[in-house]
Structure 1
Amino acid sequence: MKTIRAQVLEAEQSAVLGPGDDERFSGYGVMGLSFSSGHVLAMRRFPVTSVGPGYRSVWLRRPSGSWTIYADAPPAVSCARYFGAALEAAVQCPITVIWTGDSAFSVRIGGDVDLAWDLELASTPVTRAMTAVLAALPAAVLENTAVLKAMGAASGPALRAGRLGLTGAVPNGQGFRAKPRRMWFVSRSSASLAGQDFGSLQPLRVQTRLGDFWIPQRGIFLIGASSFDAFDPARHLPASVPGAA
């Protein structure tokens, strides 16, 4: 059986975009991970997108509730394209994601940010069952928003992750559709920002969200795809962050 690392690297090398006129992304990431300090981290790695070059991003929520998205591509073609209206800042900077073992990897942002984040993934009977179901679904099923709503409503309690939203609207107004195919839990993690340790893994007292995208109350790592409505300047907000120069 292939290791988690091998499956992720295979997804990295063979990522393709499905058909459609919407804005499409293929890759993997950590949906969200909360710590006892009140910080929340998330990570995205999309080797291919329909709006620009592939990129890496890290989402950071501080205990105050403010969000920053760091990405190694410009905001207009990365996550701020969809979430900018809810951010305190969107920062373009180098990000490294390095696998350190068959089920472990590290995320680093250097310079003034100085983020160090280490993670270990694990397979469980629940994630194996979910992966078997998700991998078998025809692609057309994961385009159906009614199916995605039902999947999200059922998956949250099954995964003990609070509310999950696989479809809805992002802060900038576009509709989104998350299409997971393979899943693992984050079993261990540590993180620090400019030397400040985030403490242990711990669900937030009140679950947080960005638009209709709820940050899971436990760490979930996914391989899959996502899509968003094509940008319409008459209906959607630009990638810029409110108040930014």
Structure 2
Amino acid sequence: MSMLDLASRLSALPMGRGEAPWPGCEYVKGWGVFGLPLDSGHVLALRVFPENSFAPYRTLWHRDPQGRWSLYVDGPRLDTACPRYYGPACVRTAHARIELTWTGPASLRVVMDGADSPALDWTLTASVTPLLTLLNAAGAGMPAATWRSPFLLRLRERLAGALGLGRLQLSGVMPSGHTGTLMPQQMYFIDHARATLDGIDLGSPVRLRESPRIGDVTLPARGVLAIGQAAWEIRDRAAYERTRAETARGTGDDGPA
């Protein structure tokens, strides 16, 4: 294994609102745990998006063994975070406090609590292999336009399958109806993790035969931390501009871009 320092890279990313990689889209940019299946049947995921179309946020995703998803947002509004795209596939969306602490160069502790959320204590360590190092270097150098090519998207999906991530679908329709593209540009395996939810041990990382789904969107069949971005077509321009204006009051932005 190569030495890996994600803490230095990810702990102090700038916060702000920029431009989506393509016209007519809204976007997010940052990192997170793309998905982490556990041998108890639970699945966890984390999204940390300091830069996006509206306001910085963190979201903790949880799927129970019965397949029911919940999303918990540390951010100003639910409708400008992950529930905007995935909420219709969930049994619960709510606010929570989500604290992140890097305990080592590639080791992270995630603690969640709040009046409307369960208590979560989750530790994980990411790792990289020579093959991932090669693929990550290539991914970092490829322009965003390459994610609009159906051929290159399918190639990336096949590479993900070869890495044991299952049948990922990186472009399609979200549970909300937004059409979008997920762009994980660098990825790192998570083979070591522990988590307790309201004091219940959720077990150890596992590789599933089939990828977990939230709606029709697939997540990795093994634990992966990813750095990248995503973009979705704007469904209602007037509503988008109104939300941009409302959220600008808390970011120092001057209004719709």
Report TM bin, short chain.
Answer: 0.7 to 0.9
Corresponding residue for residue 132 of structure 2: 127
Question: 1:145: how far off?
Answer: 4.1
TM normalised by structure 1 equals 0.87
Checking the alignment, whether the CA contact within 8 Å between 2:28 and 2:51 is kept in structure 1 is: yes
Q: 1:17 Cα shift?
A: 4.1
- In the alignment, what sits opposite 2:161? 157
| Structure 1: distance between partners of 2:120 and 2:206 | 19
Match of 1:242 in 2: none
Counterpart check, 1:173 vs 2:186: no
Moved more, 119-128 or 174-183: 174-183
1:77 equivalent in structure 2: 80
Number of equivalenced pairs: 230
Please state whether the residue corresponding to 2:144 is helix, strand or coil.
coil
Aligned residue in 2 for 1:182: 186
Q: Where does residue 240 of structure 1 map in the other structure? A: none
Q: Aligned pair in 2 of structure 1 residues 138, 207: CA closer, same or farther (>3 Å)?
A: closer
Instruction: Quote how far apart the aligned CAs of 1:179 are.
Output: 1.6
Distance 1:25 1:35 in 2: 26
2:69 touches 2:214 (CA, 8 Å); kept in 1?
Answer: no
1:48 aligned onto 2:51 = yes
Shift in alpha-carbon separation, 1:162–1:140, aligned structure 2, 3 A: same
Mapped to 2, the partners of 1:208 and 1:224 lie a distance apart of 20
Q: How far apart are 1:14 and its partner, in Å?
A: 7.5
Unaligned runs of 5+ in 2: 238-257
Task: Pick one of 68, 77, 92 that aligns with 1:89.
Answer: 92
Residues of 2 paired with 1:79 and 1:145: CA distance? 25
- Separation in 2, partners of 1:175, 1:109: 30
Equivalent pair of 1:71/1:91 in contact (CA under 8 Å): yes
Q: What residue is the counterpart of 2:5 in the other structure?
A: 3
* Contact kept in structure 1, 2:15 and 2:51, CA below 8 Å: no
| 1:35-87 deviation per Cα after TM superposition (whole angstroms, max 9, x unaligned) | 1110000000000111x211000100001110000011222100010111110
Structure 2: distance between partners of 1:160 and 1:54: 31
3-state SS of 2:33 partner: strand
Contact 1:17 1:26 in 2 (8 A): no
- More displaced, 171-180 or 14-23? 14-23
Alpha-carbon separation, structure 2, partners of 1:145 and 1:96: 37
For the residues of structure 2 that align with 1:38 and 1:68, how far apart are their CA atoms? 15
Aligned to 1:238: none
Partners of 1:105 and 1:203 in 2: CA distance: 20
- Which whole-Å CA distance do the structure 1 matches of 2:174 and 2:154 have between them? 15
Q: Unaligned stretches of 5+ in structure 1? A: 234-245
> Which residue identity lines up with residue 205 of structure 2 in the other structure?
L
**Counterparts of 2:19 and 2:222 in 1: how far apart (Å)?**
28
Q: Is the 8 A contact 1:118 1:189 kept in 2?
A: yes
The two structures have a TM-score, normalised by structure 2, of: 0.83
Identity of aligned residues (%): 34
- Is contact 1:121-1:186 (8 Å) kept? yes
* Residues 212-231 of structure 1 mapped to structure 2, 5 A cutoff: 212-231=216-235
Are 2:27 and 2:231, in contact at CA under 8 Å, matched by a contact in 1? yes
